[in-house]
Chains A and B, each alone.
Chain A
Amino acid sequence: MSNPVNVYDARADHAVVAAESPLAYSYASSGTPAPARHSRVVMAERAFLGHLILRGGAIVIDEALREVLGLSLPGRPNTLTVADDGRYSVQWLSPDEWLLIVPGGEEFAVEGKLRQALGESHFAIVSVGGGQTVIELSGEAARDVLMKSTAYDVHPHAFPVGKGVTTCFAKTNVILRRPDEARWEIIVRRSFADYVYRWLLDAGEEYGIGVTRESHHEA
């Protein structure tokens, strides 16, 4: 049988092709207020990362992930594992679904290696990086902004570092996660990104929200 699945490298060469992140429109239409001294919350996009949805049984996917990236699947629902200084992370989305985020441009290679490692098991891998982006929130008022936006409990007792959930955010849905003490990450679908951006600017206004354009994480 021919290759049962079409594995496709949809990434273009960013040196040649002008790529636009999901927030490109928003930066132009809503502006990017610079963080100031009184800014108690700061927003930054981590654009163009590789996002892979992994579907299948936890045991085989865990083995494959360890083999390929040295990363283990999070053991509990609604948690994530972060490795290598935040460059790789894998998050539980459902009992048979995880979100793997890798540096931009690595997704095709990682998918290929994972498929090889998974062999004949029942699984699926889908690249979705063009359709979503990561927005990072930091600062002392980040939690207040989130409380205005989501009914999920973001108190540190209920939302410790290493937690990640899919939940409602204003009138859309996002993945909300806490990779470390300093940052919250909101993963939003591309078509809703402008709404979330405008929402965050509005909800963060009373805390002097600022936007950082360059991200040290960008691959």
Chain B
Amino acid sequence: MFHIYCPYCEEHREEEEFHPKGQAHIARPDDPDACSDEEWGDYLFFRDNPRGIHHELWVHAVGCRKFFNITRHTVSYEILETYKMGAQPQVTAAPRETGEAHGAEGRADAKDIHEGVRA
């Protein structure tokens, strides 16, 4: 159960109030008719699946009903930031040093790849 900070409600809420809506920052092409079938297919079906920093679109479904973005670490599940629609992420996959983010990134080392199935 995540604990998610809604940037509109300005407080943390339980995960059950939210719906995840997939990868963030996927803009609909302005002129769909100008897209090739392949480009349109990419827009519709292809998504990143990174091991690490991931930007996701969520909606505060049982709450303010606003859509917003989350930067989440897919290994530690740590939520590194949430930000409103139209804003850009402050935490990105590019190498950088930050306080909060560091702990999560530090744990995503090679050893974790061998993480076994839990008992």
Contacts and interface: CB of A to CB of B under 8 A. Distances in A.
8 contacts: A78-B11, A94-B66, A95-B66, A151-B14, A165-B63, A166-B64, A167-B13, A167-B14
Interface size class of B (residues with CB under 8 A): 10 to 19
B52 to A, nearest CB: 29
Interface string A48-85: 00000000000000000000000000001110000000
Interface residues of A, number: 14
Nearest to B61: A173
B14 A77 contact: no
B62 interface: yes
Interface in A167-196: 167-168, 173
Q: Label chain B's interface by main secondary structure.
A: loop
B47 interface: no
Given A76-B10, A151-B14, A167-B62, 15 more contacts: A77-B8, A77-B9, A77-B64, A94-B64, A94-B65, A95-B8, A97-B64, A151-B16, A152-B14, A165-B63, A167-B14, A168-B14, A168-B16, A168-B62, A173-B62
Interface of A: 76-78, 93-95, 97, 151-152, 165-168, 173
A203 to B, nearest CB: 18
A76 B11 CA distance: 11
A78 B64 CA distance: 9
B2 to A, nearest CB: 12
Nearest to A93: B64
Interface in B1-37: 8-11, 13-14, 16-17
Nearest to A166: B63
Contacts of B10: 76-78
Given A78-B9, A95-B8, A166 B14 contact: no
A26 to B, nearest CB: 23
Contacts of B9: 77-78, 165
A78 B16 CA distance: 18
Nearest to B12: A153
Nearest to B3: A151
A129 to B, nearest CB: 20
Contact of A167 (B8, B63, B66): B63
Contacts of A152: 13-14
Interface in B49-80: 62-66
A85 to B, nearest CB: 29
A37 B72 CA distance: 52
A191 to B, nearest CB: 16
Q: Which 6 A-B pairs have the closest CB atoms?
A: A94-B64, A151-B14, A173-B62, A168-B16, A77-B10, A77-B9
A139 to B, nearest CB: 26
A151 B13 CA distance: 9
